A and B are shown apart, each in its own frame.
Chain A
Amino acid sequence: MTPPFSYCTERGASIKSIINRLEEEKYSFHLGLIGLFSIITVRNIFESAFEGTQTFGFSPITENSFFMIFSHFPLFYISLYIWFLFFFLLMTKEKPDIIAKPLLIGLSVIVITPFIDIIVSRGSGYTLTYLKGIEEFTQIYRLFDFRQELLQASWGQRIEIVAILFGASMYVFTKTRSILKTLIAPVISYLIIFIHGALPNTIAQIPSSLGFTQLHYRTIISAGILNVDSQNYSIIFICSTVVIGWFVVRKYDRELAHDILEIRKSLLLIIGTLLGLAYAVVLVSPYFPFIFISPIHYLILLAALFTVHTAKLASIRDKSSFPFILLSISALFAALAIGLTFFFVILSYFVYATYLAPKLEQTISNRFLSKYMTVGVGSVLSFIAGFAIIFQETTLSCIIPYDHARIEAHGHKITGWDYFINGDHSDAIRHYEIAYSFEKTDEIRKRLGQSYLHKGRSDEGIAILQAVDRLDYETILSLGQAYMQKGMQDKADRLYRHAVSENIEPAEFLTLLAQAAARRGSEVQMDAFLLAGKKHGMHRARFHQIRGDCFLQSGNYEEAIIEYDRAIYDNGRSTLAYAGRGMAYYAKGDLSEAEQAFLDALVLDPDIDALYNNLGAIYMMKKEYKKAEDHFRKSLKINPLQAEAYYNLGLIAQAFGRNEEAINMYSDALKVNPGFTQARIALDGILTND
């Protein structure tokens, strides 16, 4: 008679032999760590090359890219790894070093995701967002419904998650033979993944739930005292790693776990860091009002204290021991997340305390002197480290406040950045202008110029962006857009050509050049730019979409629809192609096809006001006024500065005899665009009749 679960048992046996083989592999902690970093780095580099915007290294800005590739994403995956390790420890009662090996090989599944996606998406890649926040928790089941596309996650991600859940349950089953634990394993595993996705946003929302409204919650994760938003994410994941990591260490080496809590050994350094930080806060707080609002700032403080503490503990350990490796790597990783200046100060202390101080003690005969020299160096460096948390790269020029202007400039710069990222450009301008009066750096010029442009002060924006010495990707993009808004297409084209010649994201700027040529109806020029763009890696979908735009512009709707269809074939998630297709059908007079195309585009991106507007116009033509009104209102909710939407709402209100509402709508249209003749005529007409 076949015993129940015989299939599972046989499978379990074969999987067990694989797991046993992996567990018996003999290699050092160093190699395991390098292996883990290798997996993560390969995933990140290929994700950046194949997914999303397909920008190699994630960002054209080296500093951003560096933190994303070498800090933020590694810490995300390391945190996941440690959480899984802890979970399996609890479930299987095995030793951490036994579980760590198969877990490392299991984690290798993350490498395949970008390759699956680039194949499935026909080369266009997907935008990987996962489920973003805790509010999407109830949507989890959609990840596993493989009959349907899911915009928040790619096919590669979904396969990766299913593989991880399957691997987790098989591992637990093999180790425990408990059906209950086997069933729990994928649930908890998914929760671990979900929490990692939702953690940053959830932490960022704490101030708004406590009643602080000065800043939008996204600002709290994107800005603050650290230069790059990836550093903030790194801080969250380092804290997560440290907390769970401590429990893992406790299972492995209780003495080490106890030592990690023994802060007396590093009390002097902790005090030094806190004093340095307090001094920096006193200096910066008159100009930077958000220091005590952001939860990230408190986490940064915890990460900094953890760093100095572990650096001290590592320095007093035997250099060949496991605790030394673990502590020193933890310290250096946490230090890197806080910033390069902090990292180098901590590194200096670490090198001094670990390698130089013992030699000095041997050479200096006076023990009292040598001991206090070590204490003195530690105190000074920890003070500087504390100060560097806030002042970052300006630490050395600000720590002795002989030039107060530098301190003020730094304070206003980080405040300006917080407002800028929060979308509050008036306040951003106020702070950047003060910072600019002290320090005329490219960074301040760029942000000030961008803020002017956001507020519609194009001339000032252009003037200050033109003054940027070293044109980078962001400056070229902003300046080009400003030129186009002012109708100076020639200047924009020249700027974009300069970017291409300087090898600054050539595919992207060739796309902009081709789009401009398409708008002009210049097919020859457009094709030349598109062909050059293709050589630089522009995707086929973009190629066809821009050709479609050109045909649409020149009134060749049939050709336009063919090109848009090709673009949609190459990238089924191209909102622009669907929108263009809708426009072409609309121009042809085929309202139902146009409606369907706009609806398809809305599924992909429900935040584009123009799509609601276009749908509103279609429903008006189809005399479905209620639907039209709903869509115009949705459009205005996203972007209240649309004169035509107000005008159309006015027409509908007037048609239904709601004259007062119509007057308001026409007036709003004229407020947005005082030169809107049709709105003026309609308003005058309705007032005259009344």
Chain B
Amino acid sequence: MIRIIRCLFFGSRPYIAVHYLFPTAFGIFLGAKTFNEPIYLLNSCLILLSVFFSFQASVILNDVNDVRADAIVKRRTPINCGYVSVGAYLQIAVVCLVISILLALGTGYRTLLIVILGNILHFAYSSKPFRLKRFYPLSIFLLALGALLAAIAGYSLYEASRPFLSFPLRASLFIMVPLFLALNFRDLADYQGDRRTDTTTLFTLIGLERGRLVNAVLILLSYVSVAVILQYSLLFAICIPLGLASGHVCIQKPLSEKRVFVIYFVFIGVLTVLFNLNPSIIIK
């Protein structure tokens, strides 16, 4: 049991897990503000946990499918470190998936359908027969789409009958565009592994050095796009410095993912305060 817990904790990639919970929390917030309803605490916790466990299952699936590439770049995953066998790790994934589905079912049948879609997306992203992570920029688009689905899952607590059609377009763009521009940096550390496993990324397509520069520019654009999408000029004062800082971190060698995430979390913190002070920024 201790080994399983250790495994889960070790492999859970806390930064990315938290990153996935932001859109879900955003979806809940958006639903509550749009329909003038209170935050349903129990259901909100259930859906957040459901998305968390769904993400854990996808992390495991990704690790299992990336064993070869991870070994090349010496990424420390529970399998590569020998904490757990592939079979046992997959069993943990199944448990996480079942927990995720049960938690989603606890909030409602239609929310469950969205969570199932999210799980399918992660499966198609990392596992054969599709393994869509091999195809750039589809891979990045799917990651952004996963975040959008997480947001819609949260939103579905308030509008379950037409969650996709009623989810505001501005909010969809607010999630999709910045993430689509920004998420390339995650492939930087896997460059060698991706090259040898025929996985196309921004860096394998245009080369590592040029890729670093383009990635830094894209990250800056990603931050700026938030202010443009929300049409809130004051945000430029925050987006541009944070975007520049994040881009700068991405150019430095070796890449510190932790710093990129810290800047990202600061930005999310600023947005959280702004949205609470003035919800009309996002709900027009």
Does A537 lie within 8 Å of B109, measured CB to CB? Answer: no
Q: Is B32 an interface residue, CB under 8 A from the partner?
A: no
Q: Is B129 an interface residue, CB under 8 A from the partner?
A: yes
Known: A35-B130, A38-B124, A66-B109. A49 touches B159 (CB 8 A): no
Contacts of A45 in B (CB 8 A): 113, 116-117
Q: Is B252 an interface residue, CB under 8 A from the partner?
A: no
* Complex CA–CA separation, A504 to B108 (angstroms): 12
Q: Which A residues between 622 and 674 are near B, CB-CB below 8 angstroms?
A: none
Q: Is A25 an interface residue, CB under 8 A from the partner?
A: yes
Q: Is A506 an interface residue, CB under 8 A from the partner?
A: yes
* Complex CA–CA separation, A200 to B140 (angstroms): 42
Does B129 lie within 8 Å of A537, measured CB to CB? Answer: no
Known: A31-B127, A41-B116. A537 touches B110 (CB 8 A): no
Interface of A, helix, strand, loop or mixed by DSSP: helix
Does A42 lie within 8 Å of B128, measured CB to CB? Answer: no
Q: Which A residues between 275 and 302 are near B, CB-CB below 8 angstroms?
A: none
Does B35 lie within 8 Å of A535, measured CB to CB? Answer: yes
B167, closest chain A residue (CB): A537
Known: A31-B127, A66-B109, A104-B129. A537 touches B159 (CB 8 A): yes
The contact string, 1 if C-beta is below 8 Å from chain A, for chain B 91-111, is 000000000000000000110
* Complex CA–CA separation, A536 to B161 (angstroms): 8
Contacts of B161 in A (CB 8 A): 55-56, 60, 503-508, 536-537
* Complex CA–CA separation, A307 to B34 (angstroms): 49
Does B109 lie within 8 Å of A536, measured CB to CB? Answer: no
Does A31 lie within 8 Å of B129, measured CB to CB? Answer: yes
Contacts of B129 in A (CB 8 A): 25, 27, 31-32, 35, 101, 104-105
The contact string, 1 if C-beta is below 8 Å from chain A, for chain B 236-276, is 00000000000000000000000000000000000000000
Q: Is B23 an interface residue, CB under 8 A from the partner?
A: no
Chain B contact residues (Cβ within 8 angstroms of A): what range? 20 to 34
Q: Which A residues between 1 and 48 are near B, CB-CB below 8 angstroms?
A: 25-27, 31-32, 34-35, 38, 41-42, 45-46
Known: A38-B120, A41-B120. A56 touches B163 (CB 8 A): yes
Known: A42-B120, A503-B158, A536-B166. A56 touches B127 (CB 8 A): no
Does A49 lie within 8 Å of B109, measured CB to CB? Answer: no
Q: Is B180 an interface residue, CB under 8 A from the partner?
A: no
Interface of B, helix, strand, loop or mixed by DSSP: helix
Contacts of B158 in A (CB 8 A): 503
Does B159 lie within 8 Å of A38, measured CB to CB? Answer: no
* Complex CA–CA separation, A537 to B120 (angstroms): 25
Q: CB < 8 Å: which of B117, B128, B164 contacts A27?
A: B128
The contact string, 1 if C-beta is below 8 Å from chain B, for chain A 43-64, is 0011001100011110010100
The contact string, 1 if C-beta is below 8 Å from chain A, for chain B 143-167, is 0000000000000001111111110
For the complex formed, measure the closest distance between the CB of A543 and the CB atoms of chain B, giving whole angstroms.
13
* Complex CA–CA separation, A10 to B48 (angstroms): 52
B117, closest chain A residue (CB): A45
Q: Is A230 an interface residue, CB under 8 A from the partner?
A: no
Does A537 lie within 8 Å of B162, measured CB to CB? Answer: yes
Q: Is A69 an interface residue, CB under 8 A from the partner?
A: yes
Does B165 lie within 8 Å of A537, measured CB to CB? Answer: yes
Q: Is B123 an interface residue, CB under 8 A from the partner?
A: yes
Does A31 lie within 8 Å of B128, measured CB to CB? Answer: yes
Does B123 lie within 8 Å of A69, measured CB to CB? Answer: no
Does A56 lie within 8 Å of B123, measured CB to CB? Answer: no
Does B113 lie within 8 Å of A506, measured CB to CB? Answer: no
Q: CB < 8 Å: which of A41, A54, A65, A504 contacts B109?
A: A65
The contact string, 1 if C-beta is below 8 Å from chain B, for chain A 200-211, is 000000000000
For the complex formed, measure the closest distance between the CB of B180 and the CB atoms of chain A, giving whole angstroms.
17
Q: Is A133 an interface residue, CB under 8 A from the partner?
A: no
* Complex CA–CA separation, A503 to B32 (angstroms): 13
Contacts of A507 in B (CB 8 A): 161-162, 166
Q: CB < 8 Å: which of B109, B128, B165, B166 contacts A62?
A: B109
* Complex CA–CA separation, A31 to B61 (angstroms): 12
Does B160 lie within 8 Å of A56, measured CB to CB? Answer: yes
Contacts of A104 in B (CB 8 A): 129
Does A535 lie within 8 Å of B166, measured CB to CB? Answer: yes
Known: A31-B129, A41-B116, A105-B129. A56 touches B162 (CB 8 A): yes
* Complex CA–CA separation, A108 to B124 (angstroms): 11
Known: A42-B117, A503-B160, A506-B161. A25 touches B166 (CB 8 A): no
* Complex CA–CA separation, A274 to B250 (angstroms): 69
* Complex CA–CA separation, A503 to B159 (angstroms): 7
Q: Which A residues between 240 and 256 are near B, CB-CB below 8 angstroms?
A: none
Q: Is A123 an interface residue, CB under 8 A from the partner?
A: yes
Contacts of B35 in A (CB 8 A): 535
Does B162 lie within 8 Å of A49, measured CB to CB? Answer: yes
Does B120 lie within 8 Å of A56, measured CB to CB? Answer: no
The contact string, 1 if C-beta is below 8 Å from chain A, for chain B 121-142, is 0011001111000000000000
* Complex CA–CA separation, A503 to B34 (angstroms): 14
For the complex formed, measure the closest distance between the CB of B142 and the CB atoms of chain A, giving whole angstroms.
12
Contacts of A503 in B (CB 8 A): 158-161
For the complex formed, measure the closest distance between the CB of B284 and the CB atoms of chain A, giving whole angstroms.
11
Contacts of A537 in B (CB 8 A): 159, 161-166
A28, closest chain B residue (CB): B128
For the complex formed, measure the closest distance between the CB of A65 and the CB atoms of chain B, giving whole angstroms.
7
Contacts of B34 in A (CB 8 A): 535
Contacts of A508 in B (CB 8 A): 161
For the complex formed, measure the closest distance between the CB of A19 and the CB atoms of chain B, giving whole angstroms.
14
* Complex CA–CA separation, A41 to B121 (angstroms): 11
The contact string, 1 if C-beta is below 8 Å from chain B, for chain A 521-553, is 000000000000001110100000000000000
Q: 20 A-B pairs, CB-CB below 8 angstroms?
A: A27-B128, A31-B127, A34-B123, A38-B124, A41-B120, A45-B113, A55-B161, A56-B163, A57-B109, A60-B161, A69-B113, A101-B129, A504-B161, A506-B159, A507-B166, A535-B35, A535-B159, A537-B159, A537-B165, A537-B166
Q: List 11 additional contacts besides A31-B127, A56-B110, A57-B113; criterion CB under 8 Å.
A: A32-B129, A35-B130, A45-B113, A49-B164, A50-B165, A57-B110, A505-B161, A506-B161, A536-B162, A536-B166, A539-B165
Across the A-B interface, give the 8 residue pairs with the lowest CB-CB distance, nearest first: A537-B162, A537-B166, A537-B165, A27-B128, A35-B129, A38-B120, A49-B164, A62-B109
